[in-house]
Amino acid sequence: MLYAVTSYFNPAGYRSRLANYRLFRRRLAVPLVAVELSFDGRFELGPGDADRLLQVRGADVMFQKERLLNLALKALPDDCQAVAWLDCDVLMADGWVEAALRALEERALVQLYASQYNLSADARPERPREGDRVLFGTAVAKKLATGEMTLDDFSAEAAPVAGTAWGLAWAARRELLSRHGFYDACILGSGDAALVCAAVGGFERPREALRMSDRRHRHYLAWAEPFHRDVQGRIGYLDLPILHLWHGEAGRRRYRERHQEMAAFDFDPVTDIGLTEEGCWRWTSAKPELHAYVARYFPSRREDDSSASDTGAPA
């Protein structure tokens, strides 16, 4: 049986995040395990918002998506055989569950769509009109399958391939994820890209894109190399669309700039972060400038501001 897992944290208190989650939940066709992290002790989700809802607190403000997904993996029931990890601001296409299970018979990882469409700020998500959605790009798994991308595009020197969708929705067999977990030290986002690079053996690309120091890159490789040995580039995709719900103008998320700027603080996952009793990240080093920079990033995204159209990639 296939289960979905997702993470929810909202340090800036955006209204759109909760609204998007509720719509995502209503439209989801499989049982859901969700982990919500509260930074101030107040929770936004309730019992009806997931089949299994874990709520944790006491962590510091940073991007904790993959850390929470690792907690969700531990909460899956015994009858779970396959896992879809989904951002909680997407609407899946009809028929994706059956298609994913078929694809996983041959592939280790499956991206659960071929084309990503972003909904505009004034769209009606329940019944979007033709002009309400904008084609962002093509799934990275499809680009690899069709030859539009090759392993050369994962080298440190390669320029980013425009119109590539890396995240939002993936699936794998449970045993693969139980063995390796998710790489969870991308504290400013881009964990999906780090996972894809590991899957295909493009280990140098995250060093460049995330501006990793040598020490941070070794930490990544300790997870990525064993993961790659099991996956061996066996990734596929579903020939389906996915809708990405509006949550602010993409330019404010500063996907590349955020990593360039954080590099100045020499983030080291070995010494700068550690686990709380509930299994979330907290700061363990005396780097107040790093801590402040990461905390400021979330309100700077202004996700409730609908002043422009969103044509960007997921966080």
Q: How many domains does the chain have?
A: 1
- pLDDT bin (cut points 50, 70, 90) of residue 68 is very high
Check whether 146 has a pLDDT greater than 90: yes
Check whether 90 has a pLDDT greater than 80: yes
Query: What is the predicted pLDDT for the residue at 248?
Result: 47
Question: The domain spanning residue 46 has which CATH number?
Answer: 3.90.550
Region 210-239: mean pLDDT is 97
Distance in angstroms (rounded) separating the CA atoms of residues 256 and 281: 23
Q: Does residue 149 or residue 299 have the better pLDDT?
A: 149
In-domain check, residue 293: yes
Distance in angstroms (rounded) separating the CA atoms of residues 23 and 176: 29
Give the pair of three-digit tokens for residue 24: 């995502």
In-domain check, residue 315: no
Give the pair of three-digit tokens for residue 275: 């686990």
Q: Which residues are within 8 A (CB) of 82 and not within 5 positions of it... i.e. 6 or more apart? A: 1, 2, 3, 100, 101, 104, 171, 172, 173, 174
In-domain check, residue 314: no
Query: What is the predicted pLDDT for the residue at 246?
Result: 75
- pLDDT bin (cut points 50, 70, 90) of residue 251 is low
Check whether 178 has a pLDDT greater than 90: yes
Q: Which of 200, 208, 258, 265 minimizes the C-alpha distance to 229? A: 200
- pTM for the whole structure: 0.92
| Full residue range of the structural domain in which residue 171 is found | 2-300
In-domain check, residue 100: yes
Query: What is the predicted pLDDT for the residue at 311?
Result: 41
Distance in angstroms (rounded) separating the CA atoms of residues 279 and 272: 15
In-domain check, residue 132: yes
In-domain check, residue 57: yes
